[in-house]
Amino acid sequence: MAASTNGPPPEFRSYAAESLAQSPAGAVGKGGELDLRFARGRDGQSRLVYDRATVPFHLTGGLYHDEALPDIASAYVQDPTGGIAQGDRYEATVEVGAGARAHVSTGSATKVLRMERNYGASTTRIDVGEGGYLEYLPEETILHEGARFWQQVEMDLAPGASVLFADVVVPGRLARDELFAFERLHTSVEARSRGEELFADAVRLDGGDHLRGPGLFGEFRVVGTFYVVAPDHDEVAALADALHERVQPEGGSEDPSAVGGASVLPRESGVAVRVLGARASDVTDRFHRVWNRARETLVGASAPDTRKF
């Protein structure tokens, strides 16, 4: 799948011109690459059939431990470094073959460190074959003071394919009362199928106390979006209603810790669920409910009961 961009967004281009005293941006040790490929065997079992990881990525290898969906293959990506630093360029490719099922996550939160020059970037390209199914559910991203971060996720889905993707952003080290002190964030998610664009969603935020205002974060501190991309699903509106219910307070009670809702994606290609929460767990707890309902709808199995989503 070819990249859909010719370079960083306009607000990051001035950063790109800033040289680094240490290794150049994207150099060895600052340009991690990850390549994961899953395929369905003749016995119906999905397997991780190819993997390649360069520093700072590290991979556990394929795991096959999901009791509710025993034919799915799982992989957990690890980063043994302190986090994404200035000049780091992470690139990941995840391919899921026809009829295969895969789950990819990270071992811990991704920390985007303080930056004085240049910026950090992460690009993930997802390609799912006919009838394939991917859950790409990384842990949250934590933006340290002064962080400049550009993240893009690009998906290409064959007929009958579906992707679940969650993106949770924590705008500061909350335990240190650090909030909205990052410099700039740009995230984008794009999906295509059959050569046509399904949707493009982008979030652009400059750090600062203005984010506390109404219509932005307000009283909340964490934001997350859960994408259920299933362009061939016949009942998208009903799924959106069901997922909307999953992020509301349980039992009809009032819960001030989070607020959220769901909407149908353009071209009825799936559902986007967005949640604002006081803590990361307030968002991820609701996303686990979303994951469970979406999984039941798409593959007829419940989500595992783990601390991760």
Per-residue pLDDT tens digits for 129-176: 999 999 999 999 999 999 999 999 999 999 999 999 999 999 999 989
> Domain range holding 150?
11-213+267-272
**Residue 130 resides in a domain:** yes
Is the pLDDT confidence value at 255 over 80?
no
Query: Which among 174, 122, 153, 187 is positioned nearest to 281, based on CA atoms?
Result: 174
- Look at residue 1 in the predicted model and tell me its pLDDT: 41
**What percent of the chain is modeled with pLDDT above 90?**
85
Total domains in the fold of the chain: 1
pTM of the complete model beyond 0.85: yes
Average per-residue pLDDT in the chain? 93
Residue 68 lies in a domain: yes
Does residue 126 fall inside a structural domain? yes
Q: Is residue 183 part of a domain?
A: yes
Residue 262 lies in a domain: no
Q: What is the pLDDT of residue 267?
A: 98
In a domain, 174, yes or no: yes
Q: Does 203 fall in a domain?
A: yes
**Confidence band of 27 (pLDDT split at 50, 70, 90):** low
What's the pLDDT band for 7 if we cut at 50, 70, 90? confident
In a domain, 255, yes or no: no
- Residues 58-94 have pLDDT tens digits of 998 899 999 999 999 999 999 888 899 999 999 999 9
Predicted local distance difference test score (pLDDT) of residue 31: 80
- Cα–Cα dist 133/161, whole Å: 6
Q: What is the mean pLDDT of residues 291-297?
A: 98
Average pLDDT over residues 189-198: 98
